[in-house]
Amino acid sequence: MLTIRTFLVRGLLAGLIAGVLTFGMAYLVGEGPVSAAVTLEGHGADGHHHAAPAAGDGAGAPAGGIRMSTAYEADDELVSRADQSTWGLATGTLVVGLAVGGLVGLATGVAFGRVGTRTAQGTSALCAALGFGAASLVPFLKYPANPPSVGQADTIGARTAAYFGFLGLSVLAVLAAVVAARALSRRWGGWNAALAAGAGYAVVMIVAARLFPVVDEVPDAFPASLLWSFRTASAGVQLCLWGVAGIALGLLLRTPVRRHLAARAGSAA
Amino acid sequence: MTAIPFSPPASALPATAVPAVPALPVLPLRQALPWLFFAGVLLLLALYFVSAEQGAVSVFSGTGVHEWVHDARHLLGFPCH
């Protein structure tokens, strides 16, 4: 018997797998740029915890340094770089993997049989792809990920509100687009309805991107190539997370769905 | 007049037109709702602790949680500091 429990349990399992692989990806391609940015940051300041940006903002920093915006100094660090780049990174990726996997599982359970896909793998791939687009890719286009030493400590409140506001709006817009596509598909057919709904989502998010505040806090001295490698690594990490969760969930759902269909065919005969 | 046939959503197929690939079962929303609500809230809470705790807002004082998940927060694209 298929219930929402089937989907939640397998979603969590798929998320765990995704979390493990995402840790590997983040460690291999992400830690290089993160550590390089932390090193820049450490050289850039004589202060410690969240040094006031008003004092020597850039101009007064020692040669080779950028700016200090958080605590990395070896003498008073709370968590060592060695822990941050291994156990800390693993904690973050596993918890986010579980959460994303569980949410994709729940979404797949609700979408099951209600969208145009005919297979468990198609439905979970669709849900993960929409989740990636709505919660990672589109927010990334407006507010790209920033490495350590980019971002002023005193604007964290406004930046956090803008980021999550944009992300929340994007998720709501995708949910609305799916509902609209389902309603339109009866008259227009699946493809046309999906294209129309996708266009509607794009218009909403382009208008929102114009209206939401601009964040531009990359210091002039920050190396452009390091920013690029950090951001491409971040995009890859997020794609890995959602992609593996969606693929693993589809594989994990094959057996219970096949059993369910076989039992239904058996009872109908 | 020839109309181009679009494939209708699985739920709109009449029972007699079951294709080679059988239609997927549909879960009753009423049964799923408490699971969606409870698990959804818990999972979003877990996301909050990795993505935003001790940044703009804090449940616990200090910076321990923030520093521990620091690298993941940066690489997953969340505003960190």
Q: Give the residues across from B53 on adjacent strands.
A: B57
Note which residues in 90-129 of chain A have CB less than 8 A from chain B. 91-93, 95-96, 98-100, 102-103, 106, 109-110, 112-120, 123
Query: Are B67 and A84 in contact (CB < 8 Å)?
Result: yes
CB contact B13 to A (< 8 Å): no
Query: Are B77 and A140 in contact (CB < 8 Å)?
Result: yes
Query: Are B71 and A89 in contact (CB < 8 Å)?
Result: yes
Q: Which residue has the tokens 């709109």?
A: B12
State yes or no: pLDDT of A124 exceeds 60.
yes
The two tokens of residue A25 are 């990806």
Question: Average model confidence (pLDDT) for chain A?
Answer: 88
- Sequential DSSP letters for A57-97: -STTSPTT-----S---TTT-SS-HHHIIIIIHHHHHHHHH
- Sequential DSSP letters for A21-48: HHHHHIIIIIHHHHHHHHHHHHHT-S--
What pLDDT is recorded for position A47?
A: 34
- What whole-number distance in Å separates Cα of residue A147 and Cα of residue A235? 12
Q: What is the band of A51 on the pLDDT scale with cuts at 50, 70, 90?
A: very low
Query: Are B25 and A112 in contact (CB < 8 Å)?
Result: yes
Per-residue CA distances from A145 to A68, A170, A228, B63 (Å): 18, 17, 10, 21
What pLDDT is recorded for position A163?
A: 96
What residue ranges do the domains of chain A occupy? 4-152+219-268, 156-216
State yes or no: pLDDT of B64 exceeds 50.
yes
Residue A199 to chain B, least CA–CA distance (Å): 19
- Give the closest of B10, B68, B79 to A79, CB-based: B68
Query: Are B27 and A4 in contact (CB < 8 Å)?
Result: yes
Backbone angles phi, psi at B57, to 5 degrees: -135, 155
Query: Counting beta carbons within 10 angstroms of the beta carbon of residue B48, is it exposed (0 to 12), middle (13 to 18) or buried (19 or more)?
Result: middle
Give the single-character DSSP code of A135.
I
CB contact B81 to A (< 8 Å): yes
Q: What is the band of A69 on the pLDDT scale with cuts at 50, 70, 90?
A: very low
What pLDDT is recorded for position B31?
A: 87
What residue ranges do the domains of chain B occupy? 47-81
The pLDDT > 70 percentage for chain A reads 87
Q: Name the pTM for this structure.
A: 0.85
Nearest CA in chain A to B55: A156
- What whole-number distance in Å separates Cα of residue A113 and Cα of residue A148? 44
Pair A249, A111: CB distance under 8 Å: no
What pLDDT is recorded for position A251?
A: 97
The two tokens of residue A176 are 């609305």
Weakest-pLDDT range from A25-29, A45-49, A162-166: A45-49
Nearest CA in chain B to A233: B75
Pair B36, A4: CB distance under 8 Å: yes
Q: What is the band of B61 on the pLDDT scale with cuts at 50, 70, 90?
A: confident
State yes or no: pLDDT of A173 exceeds 50.
yes
Q: Which residues contact A189 (CB under 8 A, 6 or more apart)?
A: B6, B7, B8
CB contact A66 to B (< 8 Å): no
Chain A residues touching B79 at Cβ < 8 A: 143, 146, 151, 156, 159-160, 163
CB contact A188 to B (< 8 Å): yes
The winner for highest mean pLDDT among A56-65, A130-139, A182-191 is A130-139
Residue B1 to chain A, least CA–CA distance (Å): 17
Query: Are B27 and A102 in contact (CB < 8 Å)?
Result: no
CB contact A5 to B (< 8 Å): yes
State yes or no: pLDDT of A126 exceeds 50.
yes
Query: Are A160 and B9 in contact (CB < 8 Å)?
Result: no
Query: Counting beta carbons within 10 angstroms of the beta carbon of residue A59, is it exposed (0 to 12), middle (13 to 18) or buried (19 or more)?
Result: exposed
Residue B15 to chain A, least CA–CA distance (Å): 12
Nearest CA in chain B to A132: B76
